Amino acid sequence: MSKEEKHIEININEEEEINEENQRNADEHSGLRKASRILVLFILGLLAACYYIFVVELCMLTVEVLEAKVTFLVIFHLLYLLCLWCYLRTVITPPAVPPAQFRLSEADKRLYLSDERPEVLQEILIRMAKDLPIRNTRGARRAIRYCMVCQALKPDRCYHCPVCDICVLKLDHHCAFLNNCVGFSNYKFFLLCVFYALLMCLFTCAVSLYYSVLFWAHRLPNTESKVPIIVLFVITALFSLFLFLFFLFHFPLATWNQTARENSDDDGESNPYNLGCSKNLRQVFGNEMRYWLLPNFSSLGDGCSFPMRDATEDIEKNAALVGISPEDPLTCRSCQASES
């Protein structure tokens, strides 16, 4: 048995163990999905409540200076709409999955089912791996990774999400606040959502704090708007702290071209995808900076292959890889549908 075959065999055993664990936790994952749906509705309701308090109770009923009222409303609506737009894009964008060429064909499935010996599957996987752009096999065993659940070889940076029960390209993490996986197809939207939500909370917190102090100092009359404005300050202060810590964790990862999953699995090796801060950010936000702050898909690549630091010797090949920018990163779903 060759070295490559051993790696694949070991990895198959590991994936079987993961699959068994996923089956044991199926009820837990199902409960998490249901709770996540409720959490998304809660967040949308909270956004609606904050909108009402800021616009009606604070700006319309409390702020007396017209210039201040208009300024507050313009800034708040700009940040609010951008935050909501990015949040909804992150929630409704389906995770990108490995394209058809990474999955067992119907002929290979029939071949394996007719003779379920591990050697048969090994031969199939070795043949498939030779024709696929799998360039980085991380970990001590340097094994090609195969998912027993999805019956597919995993592209670079692809992981199986036990909650969604699919393999996700460039999986960052599964987010309960989104009821969705954050990965190649919506990573840019996620970062922008955190960024705009942080700005909106900081702005709302500062304005509501100012008028809360005026209420407590008796420089404003005691009206029914006092309590909602103080509640708004408390909520936005807590969310500002949470989002600031969240941003402090995720934005540096983007500048290092590293996902949260890769960061948690860090085995002490240098990150092969770190091309430098500028190129790393372009991988996520695209080459045209005018689109960086808009929640449109502009990330580079196809989600299966990524430029690596040790591949820079082949300049033309690496440049071509960096320049790929598909119009729809989810076309692999149609490939998958056509296969089934």
All structural domains of the chain with their residue ranges? 3-263, 264-339
- Rounded Cα distance between 182 and 19, Å, is 21
Question: Do residues 182 and 160 touch, judged by C-beta distance below 8 A?
Answer: no
Alpha-carbon distance values, 205 to 188, 210, 235, 306 (Å): 26, 9, 8, 40
Give the tokens for residue 245. 């810590």
Question: Do residues 125 and 2 touch, judged by C-beta distance below 8 A?
Answer: no
What integer is the mean pLDDT of 63-86?
Answer: 97
- pLDDT above 70 for 104: yes
- Rounded Cα distance between 265 and 270, Å, is 12
Alpha-carbon distance values, 286 to 74, 138, 194, 223, 289 (Å): 29, 26, 18, 49, 7
Give the tokens for residue 88. 């909804």
Q: What pLDDT is recorded for position 10?
A: 39
Give the tokens for residue 53. 């308090």
Largest CA distance in the chain: 84
Which of 110 and 188 is assigned the larger pLDDT? 188
Which of 35 and 276 is assigned the larger pLDDT? 276
Least confident segment among 35-44, 178-187, 210-219, 303-312 = 303-312
Phi, psi of 80 (to 5 degrees): -65, -45
Give the tokens for residue 195. 């960024």
- Rounded Cα distance between 76 and 79, Å, is 5
Q: If you search the block for the tokens 């002929």, which residue do you land on?
A: 107
201 is an active site residue: no
Question: Do residues 176 and 39 touch, judged by C-beta distance below 8 A?
Answer: yes
Q: What pLDDT is recorded for position 332?
A: 38
- pLDDT above 90 for 318: no
What integer is the mean pLDDT of 55-71?
Answer: 96
Least confident segment among 141-150, 171-180, 205-214 = 141-150
- pLDDT above 90 for 29: no
Residue 294: band (very low, low, confident or very high) from pLDDT cuts 50, 70, 90: very high
- pLDDT above 90 for 316: no
Q: What pLDDT is recorded for position 330?
A: 41
- Rounded Cα distance between 60 and 228, Å, is 13
- pLDDT above 90 for 278: yes
Highest mean pLDDT among 19-28, 45-54, 103-112, 267-276: 45-54
Q: What pLDDT is recorded for position 127?
A: 81
- Rounded Cα distance between 299 and 287, Å, is 8
For the chain, list the strands marked E by DSSP. Answer: 146-147, 152-153, 159-161, 166-168, 173-175, 180-182
Length of the chain equals 340
Question: Do residues 171 and 183 touch, judged by C-beta distance below 8 A?
Answer: yes
Neighbours of 271 (CB within 10 A): 17
Catalytic residue from among 59, 86, 150, 175: 175
pLDDT tens, position by position, 136-152: 655 445 567 888 888 88
Alpha-carbon distance values, 325 to 41, 63, 258, 328, 335 (Å): 33, 47, 19, 9, 18
- Between CA 159 and CA 126, with CA 10 as vertex, the angle to 5 degrees is 80
pLDDT tens, position by position, 186-201: 999 999 999 999 999 9
Residue 34: band (very low, low, confident or very high) from pLDDT cuts 50, 70, 90: confident
